Structure 1
Amino acid sequence: MRKVFIIIGLLVFHFTNAQQLEGFIQEALKSNPEIQKFELQYNIASEKVNEVNTLPNTEFGVGYFASEPETRTGAQRFKVSVKQMLPWFGNITARENYVSSLADAKYEDIVIAKRKLMASISQSYYNLYANTAKQNVLIENIKLLDTYETLALTSVEVGKASVVDVLRLQMRQNELDQLKQVLEQQYLAEQTNFNKLLNRDKNIAVNTIDELIMPSEDIELTSQNLEVHPELLKYDKLYQSIEQSELLNQKDSNPMIGFGLDYINVEKRPDMNFSDNGKDIVMPMVSLSIPIFNKKYKSQTKQNTLKKLEINAQKEERFNTLETILDKALNDRISARITYATQTKNLKQAKEAEKILIKSYETGTIDFNDVLDIQELQLKFEMNQIESVKSYYVQTTIINYLSN
């Protein structure tokens, strides 16, 4: 977990806002209801160790002779008995080990949930950044169109442009304003998602970084340790729990031994006088419970064998899925860097074209159709540039989730 925070720190090394991404993650780990749910489930599973560390119930019995049987020493009045069965040696320990192994598997659910929460918060944060950055780009482009509109109005006055050019610029402004309003609504929805991951009020403002740049080089993340990912370790823990279940099954197939004591109250015979007259009866007892018909335990052994095969298959399937996701994230991150480089190059050329058009205005030959085309291309390149940066960090978050 500490290594994950270090990597996140590298990813947001230029984060100057008061609330850092790591701070958001720490807050969520403490307050997120899903994490609390898994922690409670783990505590319940751990407490079951105390539940199984017990002996079978002690049996007490009381009987009264409705028809008192006569013996040589007197009539029997009532009978009191007590009996305690004891499991075979090692049975309780086997139960404790089995329950502990189940608790260990539950603990991996906490680790997995925390990792997923960290990834979700990071991705939501980058979505908020990208949304804000796109809104800022739209604001700048709307201002640019205002400038072009002023130029167009001036050109109309001197007969170098038509009113249609002005209307076309205004319609383009309306479109950009519409896009900005849509982004504002999307931002509110993403803000709600982010705040709820931290289990707080949905209207709390989220401060994001002003500019998220493309790193000069990729942060090295080890992918060779995918086999020890918590999602796969959980299958190992489940496998161990089945092994413990089989050991317990073997112990349960052993006999149980019991110890008891019977006490019978005997009434004195009034017509006789001898040494054992009215002597009560005390009878210690030993019993043995043998599972002669043990087909149940043989069936359980076979089930456990099949379960282990099932878990191995599930683990292999999940490993293949995670490896596919990791490989896709690595390739998508490379694609994001390529896209960013291309958009940066295109944006530079679009700005050069814009300068040429502005200079053309000075000579009185500006074409506002070209102006709109260049402005639209410039907006497209800037939006794609922001999206590629966001994609780079989102893919790095996925890689970070899968790497140790």
Structure 2
Amino acid sequence: MKNTSDVKKWMSLVGVLILVNTAAMGQDLEAYVNIALKNSPKLQAKQLTYESSLEAVSEVGSIPNTTIGGGYFVQEAETRVGPQRAKLSASQMFPWFGTLKAKKQASGALAESDRFELGSTTRDITLKVKQAYYKLYEKKASIEIIEENLNILKTYEELALNELENNRTTMVDVLKIRIQINELKNQKEVVNEELVSDIKGFNLLLNRSILEEVKIVDTLKVTQEVFSKENLIDNPKLLKIEAMKEATAQSELAATKENAPSIGVGLDYVFVDERDMVMPDNGKDIVMPMVNLSIPLFSKKFTSKRKQLQLQQEALANTKIDAENELETLFEDNLAALNNAKRTISTQTENVHQAKQAEQVILTTYQTGTIDFEQVLEVQQLILKYQLSTLQALTAYHNSKAALESLTK
């Protein structure tokens, strides 16, 4: 009966997913996400783009350059107080009231859109890291499940050989078990090869050496979390579109004000030589303040610009509606996938339990008679199938959960 106890010992281990490297899931996964965010060249590029946009706000909020000029009279221009020798002038143009403010607000809104793009990229990278990590978990756990089933089949092989010696079974049963062992060995090698490749891909996602060790948790658990569709309004993709819409609105206001006159102030200073005579104000320099207006008499370009900006606002409004629909669709799809995965986990866990019960019934008959190895193999295949199905559903659950977190949190 020693072989029977060995089978029962292995059966008690079949439902447990044991991975080599142990650590707290939250700590490991969070650490990998932080590494990815820190090393990501794409995220760094978005950060630099945002910083550049912030600098542009100061640029557009500046007044035009001050104009400074000077001249020398080759032929003297006579005045009552003496001949003019040289002239210096300075002038400054000012846009119409509120123009610079509108431009600055438009540029600020564009910078905000780049900030939301940065946030969106951060969420995308976080989601990719999580889903890649869950894929590694599935492959690693699959290998462990296959190894445990291999050990059980090897125990059955010993039982079959023992029965063969006692003429209670045939060599056909032994060969069937060996064929199943070979199939599982091949399956294990395939999954192991995929795991090695996936680990390299995971490290590349973190932008680090492909030889870096990746720690994976013991188990993943199903948690009870509530995701609200109302939180979609805070998604960076929608906020970016809204910021761009605000930028075009402020640009339209700036274009309207650019159609108003620009005001200029200036000062001319003329150097005057003294006359060879005594007279009041002899050689007195001339100081002449100036004010001027720049009037856009031909305003067609400003009208066209405002029209363009109005059309852009309409386009962005439609783009936002489309983005809202797309995000809502993703939310509903992932929520449905999450619930389906939970149901599948529950169903397949029960199937594993019942398949093990069937196996125990078969093993019990061995104590009183012969063992039907064909039934044993059939049940063992069912157990393996349900275990892998449970694992796949668990991975699907966490993938959907990560997607919902990316959409709403």
Q: Which residue of 2 aligns with 1:214?
A: 222
The reply to whether residue 184 of structure 1 matches residue 192 of structure 2 is: yes
Q: Which residue of 1 aligns with 2:345?
A: 340
SS of equivalent residue, structure 2 residue 221 = coil
Alignment partners' CA distance in 1, 2:399 and 2:119: 20
Deviations 1:57-83 (A, max 9, x none): 122223344455556655544433222
Deviation for aligned residue 1:375? 2.0
Alignment partners' CA distance in 2, 1:230 and 1:70: 70
The reply to whether residue 92 of structure 1 matches residue 100 of structure 2 is: yes
The reply to whether residue 318 of structure 1 matches residue 285 of structure 2 is: no
Deviations 1:5-33 (A, max 9, x none): xxxxxxxxx97469443343344444433
Task: Tell me the TM-score normalised to structure 1 length.
Answer: 0.86
Q: Which residue of 1 aligns with 2:211?
A: 203
Deviation for aligned residue 1:361? 4.2
SS of equivalent residue, structure 1 residue 262 = strand
Q: Which residue of 2 aligns with 1:55?
A: 63
Deviation for aligned residue 1:172? 2.1
Alignment partners' CA distance in 1, 2:321 and 2:68: 53
Q: Which residue of 1 aligns with 2:266?
A: 260
Deviation for aligned residue 1:323? 0.9
Q: Which residue of 2 aligns with 1:125?
A: 133
Deviation for aligned residue 1:280? 4.3
Q: Identify if the C-alpha distance between structure 1 residues 49 and 17 changes in structure 2 by more than 3 Å, giving closer, same or farther.
A: closer
The reply to whether residue 245 of structure 1 matches residue 267 of structure 2 is: no
SS of equivalent residue, structure 1 residue 109 = helix
Q: Which residue of 1 aligns with 2:91?
A: 83
Deviation for aligned residue 1:92? 2.2
Deviations 1:364-384 (A, max 9, x none): 643433333222221111100
Alignment partners' CA distance in 2, 1:400 and 1:291: 53
Alignment partners' CA distance in 1, 2:26 and 2:222: 22
Alignment of 1:280-359 (within 5 A): 280-359=285-364
Alignment partners' CA distance in 2, 1:325 and 1:171: 44
Matched-pair contact (CA < 8 Å) for 1:160–1:364: no
Alignment partners' CA distance in 2, 1:178 and 1:119: 32
Alignment partners' CA distance in 2, 1:233 and 1:103: 12
Q: Which residue of 2 aligns with 1:9?
A: none
Q: Which residue of 1 aligns with 2:387?
A: 382
Mean alpha-carbon deviation: is it higher for 331-340 or for 352-361? 352-361
Deviation for aligned residue 1:328? 1.1
Deviation for aligned residue 1:140? 0.3
Mean alpha-carbon deviation: is it higher for 51-60 or for 69-78? 69-78
The reply to whether residue 368 of structure 1 matches residue 376 of structure 2 is: no
Deviation for aligned residue 1:99? 1.4
Q: Which residue of 1 aligns with 2:234?
A: 228
Alignment partners' CA distance in 2, 1:173 and 1:316: 56
RMSD in angstroms over aligned alpha carbons? 2.7
Matched-pair contact (CA < 8 Å) for 1:19–1:207: no
Alignment partners' CA distance in 1, 2:238 and 2:280: 77
Deviation for aligned residue 1:160? 3.7
Alignment partners' CA distance in 2, 1:91 and 1:334: 54
Alignment partners' CA distance in 1, 2:51 and 2:286: 50
Matched-pair contact (CA < 8 Å) for 1:105–1:238: yes
Q: Which residue of 1 aligns with 2:6?
A: none
Partner AA of 1:246 in structure 2: E
Alignment partners' CA distance in 2, 1:364 and 1:306: 85
Deviations 1:268-315 (A, max 9, x none): 566x66556655444332221111111111112111211111111111
Q: Which residue of 1 aligns with 2:47?
A: 39
Matched-pair contact (CA < 8 Å) for 2:23–2:215: no
Matched-pair contact (CA < 8 Å) for 1:17–1:207: no
SS of equivalent residue, structure 1 residue 369 = helix
Matched-pair contact (CA < 8 Å) for 2:85–2:270: yes
Q: Which residue of 2 aligns with 1:24?
A: 32
SS of equivalent residue, structure 1 residue 288 = strand
SS of equivalent residue, structure 1 residue 211 = coil
Alignment of 1:134-213 (within 5 A): 134-213=142-221
Alignment partners' CA distance in 1, 2:80 and 2:34: 83
* Structure 2: unaligned runs, 5 residues or longer: 1-21
Partner AA of 2:379 in structure 1: I
Partner AA of 1:314 in structure 2: T
SS of equivalent residue, structure 1 residue 380 = helix
Matched-pair contact (CA < 8 Å) for 1:98–1:241: yes
Alignment partners' CA distance in 1, 2:124 and 2:25: 24
Mean alpha-carbon deviation: is it higher for 312-321 or for 106-115? 106-115
Q: Identify if the C-alpha distance between structure 1 residues 157 and 310 changes in structure 2 by more than 3 Å, giving closer, same or farther.
A: same
Task: Give aligned-pair identity as a percent.
Answer: 38
The reply to whether residue 116 of structure 1 matches residue 124 of structure 2 is: yes
Alignment partners' CA distance in 2, 1:223 and 1:199: 33
Task: Tell me the TM-score normalised to structure 2 length.
Answer: 0.85
